[in-house]
Amino acid sequence: MTREQSKYTKSADAFAQARKYLPGGVDSPVRAFGRVDMGPVFVAAAKGSKIYDIDGNQYIDYVCSWGPMILGHAHPAVLEAILAAAQKGSSFGAPTLAETELAEKVIAAYDSIEKVRFLSSGTEAVMTAIRLARAYTRKDLIVKMVGCYHGHSDSLLVAAGSGLAETAIASSAGVPDSIAKLTVVLPYNDIEAVKAAFEKHKGNIAAVLIEPVAANMGVIGPADGYLQMLRELCNGRDTLLIFDEVITGFRLAAGGAQELFAINGDLTCLGKIIGGGLPAAAVAGRADIMDMLAPLGPVYQAGTLSGNPIATAAANATLDILTKGDCYEKLESSAATLEAGLADAAKNAGIDVTINRLGSIMSCFFTDKPVRNFTDVQSTDIECFKKFFAAMLNQGIYLAPSAYEAMFVSLAHTPEDIEKTIEAAKNSFARIIG
Ligand code: KE4
């Protein structure tokens, strides 16, 4: 056993035990560290910008629970709100004032949102948005982009069809072809492909669904004018534009990518940050579409724990902090410093990297080329990323265990954290070259 492996013995034992009872030892696949060819660390606790594993190792955390922990872990005000809510009971299955308060905050942040329905996961939010779009437009097809991830509902576990604008094939077992072929999968940042799909499937596209800033193939921003052209194409064809802002909502700005790019979706899916670290998400948007939801309209959607009072308390406390003061300026400053430091470290080590950053999310791709879509990501050096990940982990820097994920910077990351991360990157690049 190498010295480095000796640092993870309790996690290794825990993983072996977990695999007896949980498929793959985890409750969500990416946590198994399969994409970095090693076993996961089991986390014992977290506070601020740090997480602590069961072997007692401390890490600066850039996963942030895949986005929600933008204030840092166990923020005092969020904890206080959770504990106060919990004292009054954990779930009622009845309306509460806090849900209305949270909806007001979401609506105040987004020009495009008039009504909100809270639910428990991003998957649920997107699944509901699709159902609403099909009901509202009376059309069946959904367009999604290669490399965008929208949760695990059947319609979205699909891969591109045989030819451009052809209907999709299932990308997961258990998804019938009859469902997969109601989705069309196109390259991200390719407006001509969208035009071709509208041409081929005249009048039958209910919605174009997109992460306005992709963060599930690494971070990739929209090409200049791309989102605006999607908006125009949808307008002209009575097709809805659905922005999946589960990651970007309240991350890139209070109004997410739609604020950043001054564009309005017809429906918006939110999650992660609006749960404050607890299970909460939302489908939201134009009132004439949202009012189709039961009990008002004919589109059914429901949830035992939707608007859960403890999750809603965490969410309200989180947004109260985020939407006041200069939080987004601070996030921008920290992330820009980190980006510059990583770029300099790679350059000085003679390693080619492309860093895509928007606000406080970024990805470091091992390539000397721009990364603008999934095909570009696939041409990056994934093996090099795995070495970088392992070298950073062994120096106490916890990155997402996949080249297809994002780094998240929080308000809890201090200048010392950023500096230590840059130093660790210098050592890691040296090891990769060495
Ligand atoms: P959840 O069902 O996991 O709450 O949300 C699904 C989802 C929807 N839309 C976007 C843009 C998302 O990024 C996600 C979930 N993100 C992944 C990580 N990239 C969650 C981590 C995991 O799957 O364990």
**Cα-to-centroid distance, 247 and ligand 1 (Å):** 8
Please give the pLDDT value at position 434.
80
Question: DSSP class of residue 366?
Answer: S
Does residue 2 have a pLDDT over 80?
no
| Pocket of ligand 1 contains residue 363 by CB under 6 Å | no
Any ligand 1 atom below 6 A from CB of 150: yes
pLDDT of 3 > 70? The answer is: no
Stretch(es) of the chain classified as CATH 3.90.1150.10: 5-62+326-433
- Backbone region of residue 93 per phi and psi (left: phi > 0; alpha: psi in -120 to 50; beta: other values): left
The overall average pLDDT reported for the chain is: 97
Atom number in ligand 1 closest to CA 272:
4
| Residue 162 beta carbon below 6 angstroms from any ligand 1 atom | no
Query: pLDDT tier at 360 (50, 70, 90 boundaries)?
Result: very high
Active-site option among 149, 328, 398, 404: 149
Given a cut of 60, whether residue 175 has pLDDT beyond it is yes
Report, as an integer, the average pLDDT of 301-313.
98
Length of the chain: 434
- End-to-end, the C-alpha distance of the chain in Å comes to 22
pLDDT interval class at 163 (50, 70, 90): confident
| pLDDT for res 164 | 82
Tell whether ligand 1 has an atom less than 6 A from the beta carbon of residue 123. yes
Q: Decide if pLDDT at 111 tops 90.
A: yes
User: Above 80 in pLDDT, residue 5?
Assistant: no
Atom of ligand 1 nearest to the CA of 151: 6
Catalytic residue among 272, 328, 404, 417: 272
pLDDT of residue 314: 98
Kindly state the helix (H) or strand (E) to which residue 339 belongs, with its residue range. Answer: helix 327-349
Ligand 1 center to 88 CA (angstroms): 30
Is position 244 annotated as part of the catalytic site? Answer: yes
Q: Whose C-alpha lies nearest to ligand 1, atom 8?
A: 150
Percent of the chain with pLDDT over 90: 95
Residues 197-212, mean pLDDT to the nearest whole number: 96
Section 310-317 average pLDDT: 98
Task: Return d(Cα 155, Cα 405) in angstroms, integer.
Answer: 22
Whether 1 shows a pLDDT value over 60: the answer reads no
Q: Is 330 a catalytic residue?
A: no
Confidence class of residue 169 from pLDDT cuts 50, 70 and 90?
A: very high
Output the pTM of the full model. Answer: 0.98
| Overall fold of domain 76-322 | Aspartate Aminotransferase; domain 2 (3.40.640)
| Strand locations in 235-304 (E) | 240-244, 267-270, 281-285
Atom of ligand 1 nearest to the CA of 28: 24
Q: Give residue 215 CA to ligand 1 midpoint distance, Å.
A: 10
What is the mean predicted confidence (pLDDT) over 221-235? 97
CATH of domain 5-62+326-433: 3.90.1150.10
Which of the four pLDDT bands, split at 50, 70 and 90, describes residue 107?
very high
**How confident is the model at residue 235, as a pLDDT?**
95
- 348 neighbors 341 (Cβ within 8 angstroms): no
Q: Is the pLDDT of residue 406 over 60?
A: yes
Residue 202 has pLDDT above 90, yes or no: no
Choice among 2-6, 92-96, 319-323 with the minimum mean pLDDT: 2-6
Enter the tokens of residue 277: 């670290």
Mean pLDDT confidence for 397-406: 97
Q: What is the CA radius of gyration of the chain?
A: 21
What local confidence, expressed as pLDDT, does residue 72 receive? 98
| Every domain range in the chain assigned CATH 3.40.640.10 | 76-322
Place of tokens 């998804």: 175
* Amino acid identity at 228: Q
Spatial separation of the C-alpha atoms in residues 66 and 316, rounded to whole Å: 19
Q: From the CB of residue 297, how many other CB atoms can be counted at a distance below 10 Å?
A: 14
- Determine the average pLDDT of the residues in 84-104: 98
